[in-house]
Structure 1
Amino acid sequence: MSNTKLIIEERAANIGSFLVGRLLPFRQKRMVGPFIFIDHMGPVCLSDQDNLDVAMHPHIGLSTLTFLFEGAIVHRDSLGTEIEITPGAVNWMTAGKGVVHTERTPDRLRHSQKQLHGLQIWVALPKEEEQCEPTFAHVEADEIPSWNEDGVEFKLIAGKAFGKQSPVPVYSPLYFIEIKSEITKTVTIGEHLFGESALYILEGSITSDKNTYKEKQLLVANDSTLCSFEIKANSTIYIFGGDAFSEERFIEWNFVASDKKLIERAKEDWKNNRFPTVPNETIKIPLPEPSRFGG
C-alpha cells in the first residue's frame, strides 16, 4: 500500500475454542476508521469431537461482522434470531444498548471433521447510535456486490465504494472490500476510498514502493487516496476503513463505548443478570478479569 505508515503482524490470541490471529486493536493503532476489533479465525480443522461453542456473551456500542471463508456457524441472539452463516454471506449484528448471542457449530457438523476459517470484526457505532435498539441482519453471498476489473475480482462486503453500496446496514461511512487475483496486476483504487484505510493480506502478497508484504500482515495507510499496489498472482486481500470518529472509543471485554460509564454499567448489568438472554441457551460466559478483553 503506497504511503504505508504502520505494519501490524497478526498476533496469536486465545479465544477459548482455539487460537486466532488478532489484528486490531494494536497498541500503536487502536482503530482504523470505525473498525475497532478484527480477529482472523483459523484456518483450523476441528475433529468430530471438537466444536465451536461460544456460550452467551453480551455486547454494547458496536456492530459485529462475521465473514467466513470455510465452514459454518449457527448464530443465536437475544432478539430471537437463529441462523446459520456459510462462506461469503454476512452476519451483521448491531448491539446498541445491549444484545447477547452465542456462536456454535451446526448440529449437522458436530460429529464430523470440519474446517473453520473467517474474520470476526467489530465496528464501533457513532456516538448518537451507541444506545440504539439492537438489530440483526443476514446478507446472503449472492447479494454482495461483486465485479471483475481486468482479471481482478472485487467484492464490496460492507459500506460504500466504487459507486456501489453493500446491502449490509452500516451506521457510518465505511468500506470493507475483498480483492482476489489469479494474476499479478497493478491495482489503483485510492480515488474510491476515504478516511482512514488499511489493507490485510489473507493469502499471497503485494508489492508497493519496492517493498513486498506477505500474508498475515496488516498495512495501515497514511492517506487512503494514495492506495496503489501490485497484487501478486493467487492473492486475496481485504481493504477496510472509513471516517474516523471525533471522540475516543474505549473497549473492555465485549463492550465498546465513547463513555467509560456505559462500559461500567454494562459490566454490572452482566454480572447481575440484567441483560436479555438467548432462547434455549443457559450457559453464560462470566465477566473476565479486568486485564482481558475480546471475543
Structure 2
Amino acid sequence: MSNVGLIIEERSRYIGDFLVGRLIPFRKKRMIGPFIFIDHMGPTTLGPDRYMDVDQHPHIGLATLTYMLDGEIMHEDSIGTKQRITPGSVNWMVAGKGVSHSERTPTDLRNGKSFVAHGYQIWVALPKSKEEMPPEFHHISAGDLPEWRDGTTHFKLVAGKAYGYISPVPVFSPLFMIEIKTVSEYELNTGPELSGEIGICIVEGSIKACGEIINKGNILVSKISDVCNIIVSSKTHLLLFGGEPLAEERHIYWNFVSHSKERIESAKAEWKNKTFPMMPYDSSYVPLPS
C-alpha cells in the first residue's frame, strides 16, 4: 500500500458503563489535520438501568464536536448551556481558555425503556491564536447542514468546507467532516475538492483502497495528494474528515490540549484546586487522573 499512510484500528475502552472505541490519538498518528481525538460511542443499548452519565469535566484549547447517529444526549456546561442533541445534529463547544461540561442521557429517556446510543465524540484543536478565547457553544440542527447526492450516494457536510458547500458550524481553521452513505458501489473522488490530510472512518461496510479491503472499525489515513483510487462498497457508511495541519505541535493531557506544556500544567492545577470554571448547579466532579 505504497500511497496509503496508515490504517488505524479502533481500540475499545470504557467510560463508566459506556463502551467507546478510541480512533485517534494513535501512537503513530497523533492528529489528522486539526482533529486530535475521536471516540466512537457504541452502538450500545441503554436502559432500563444503564444510562450515559459523564460527570462534570474540563477542557481547554479545543472544540468538541458531538455527532449522534442514534440516541440522544443532554449537554450542560459552565457557560450556562443546556442543549439536547438528536441524531444528525451537531453540538459544537469551543472550550478556549476553559470550560467544564457534563453529558447525560436525558431525564425523559430514563423511563424504563431501552434504546440504542451510537455516535462520535470529536475534538478539534484550536489555532494558537484561539486557544485562550472565551468559551462558546453552538447547536446546529440536522436540517441546517448541507446535503447532496451523487447518483444514489448521499453526502452530508457536518463541518467545514467541501465540494462547494459550507457548513454553518463556526470552525476556526481549514477543515472538513463529511458523512457519506452508499446504496451501490461508488468511486470516491477526494481531490481536488479537499485539501490537507484526510481520514476515512468506516462506520459500516467497507472500502477498497490500493488493492486492499478495509472493513468497519478502521480509519484510513493519508495525505490528500497521496490518496489512491477508493472504491466504496454498497451499503457503506463513512465519515470523511481532516484538513490543514496546525503550524505548531499540540500536547494533550487528559481533556486538555495546548501548544504549551506550561498551559496544560496550569490547567491541571486549576482543576485539581477547583479554581477552574465550574458548572454552578452540578456538584459532580471527575478527578484529575493520577
Instruction: Tell me the TM-score normalized by structure 2.
Output: 0.97
Deviation (angstroms), 1:190: 1.7
Match of 1:118 in 2: 119
Residue range with higher mean Cα deviation, 221-230 or 196-205: 221-230
Which residue identity does 1:91 align to in structure 2? Answer: N
Q: Is the 8 A contact 2:163 2:193 kept in 1?
A: yes
Aligned length: 289
Aligned-CA RMSD value: 1.3
Q: Is the 8 A contact 2:23 2:38 kept in 1?
A: yes
Deviation (angstroms), 1:227: 5.7
1:116 and 1:146 mapped to 2: Cα distance? 23
2:147 and 2:179 mapped to 1: Cα distance? 9
Q: How does 1:138-287 map to 2 (within 5 A)?
A: 138-224=139-225, 226=227, 228-287=229-288
Q: Is the 8 A contact 1:2 1:208 kept in 2?
A: no
Q: How does 1:77-88 map to 2 (within 5 A)?
A: 77-88=77-88
Deviation (angstroms), 1:47: 2.3
Which residue identity does 1:56 align to in structure 2? Answer: Q
1:224 and 1:181 mapped to 2: Cα distance? 24
Q: Does the residue aligned with 1:276 lie in a helix, a strand or coil?
A: coil
Q: Does the residue aligned with 1:58 lie in a helix, a strand or coil?
A: strand
Runs of 4+ in structure 1 deviating by more than 3 angstroms, as ranges, are 222-228
Q: Does the residue aligned with 1:122 lie in a helix, a strand or coil?
A: strand
Deviations 1:68-106 (A, max 9, x none): 000000000011000100100000000000001000000
1:224 and 1:243 mapped to 2: Cα distance? 12
1:119 and 1:246 mapped to 2: Cα distance? 26
Q: Does the residue aligned with 1:102 lie in a helix, a strand or coil?
A: strand
Gaps of 5+ in 1: 290-295
Q: Is the 8 A contact 1:72 1:85 kept in 2?
A: yes
Residue range with higher mean Cα deviation, 269-278 or 113-122: 269-278
Which residue identity does 1:3 align to in structure 2? Answer: N
Deviations 1:228-273 (A, max 9, x none): 4111110001111111012110000100000001100001001111
Residue range with higher mean Cα deviation, 57-66 or 47-56: 47-56
2:3 and 2:239 mapped to 1: Cα distance? 17
Q: Is the 8 A contact 1:13 1:22 kept in 2?
A: yes
Deviation (angstroms), 1:279: 3.6
2:215 and 2:233 mapped to 1: Cα distance? 10
Q: Is the 8 A contact 2:74 2:106 kept in 1?
A: yes
- In the alignment, is residue 19 of structure 1 matched against residue 19 of structure 2? yes
Deviation (angstroms), 1:61: 0.2
Deviation (angstroms), 1:223: 3.3
2:212 and 2:9 mapped to 1: Cα distance? 16
Identity percentage of aligned residues:
51
Q: Does the residue aligned with 2:266 lie in a helix, a strand or coil?
A: helix
Match of 2:31 in 1: 31
Which residue identity does 1:186 align to in structure 2? Answer: E
Q: Is the 8 A contact 2:69 2:119 kept in 1?
A: yes
Deviations 1:191-248 (A, max 9, x none): 1111111111000011122211100011101434636411111000111111101211
Gaps of 5+ in 2: none
1:2 and 1:205 mapped to 2: Cα distance? 20
Q: Does the residue aligned with 1:192 lie in a helix, a strand or coil?
A: coil
Match of 2:108 in 1: 108
Residue range with higher mean Cα deviation, 105-114 or 155-164: 105-114
